[in-house]
Amino acid sequence: MPLLKQELGTVHINNEVVSLIAGSAAMECYGLVGMASRKQFKDGIAELLGRENLSRGVEVRQENDQMHIDLYIIVSYGTKISEVAHNIQSKVKYVLNDVVGIQVDFVHIFVQGVRVSR
């Protein structure tokens, strides 16, 4: 659980909140169709999550005093996957580090599928 130490005390932020912020930041990136469920596949196809379930496509882990964010995504057909992934990494890290104030060390992207966007 991330901590923000301030002069008046400490703010504890639940991992669920961090995953929601990370998922919302990722959804603003071009080329992303949506978040995918980390565990559930139906007939070999990743389940596309709605906005209300964004955090199910994000995993927040602490390893050796470092914060790791794992994002499970579905990208749009015809986009350069490496560029979409890099943009998502940059956006999520910026939002969590500079806007919220949570130090994120790594943002890992797992592409679960490619879909034709509507």
Confidence bin at 89 (pLDDT 50/70/90): very high
> What is the spatial distance between Cα 110 and Cα 70, in angstroms, rounded to a whole number?
7
- Can you give the pLDDT at residue 35? 85
Confidence bin at 91 (pLDDT 50/70/90): very high
- Can you give the pLDDT at residue 95? 93
For tokens 């499970």, name the residue.
72
- Can you give the pLDDT at residue 30? 92
Backbone φ and ψ of 41, nearest 5°? -115, 135
For the cut 70, the answer to whether the pLDDT of residue 90 exceeds it is: yes
User: pLDDT for 24-72, tens place per residue?
Assistant: 899 899 998 888 876 665 545 566 656 666 677 889 988 888 889 999 9
> What is the spatial distance between Cα 21 and Cα 37, in angstroms, rounded to a whole number?
17
Confidence bin at 118 (pLDDT 50/70/90): low
Indicate the CATH number of 3-115 among 3.40.50.720, 3.30.70.1350, 3.40.50.80, 3.30.450.70.
Answer: 3.30.70.1350
Q: What's the whole-number mean pLDDT along residues 13-21?
A: 88
For the cut 90, the answer to whether the pLDDT of residue 108 exceeds it is: yes
- Can you give the pLDDT at residue 49? 58
Q: What is the mean pLDDT of the chain?
A: 83
Domain spans, the chain: 3-115
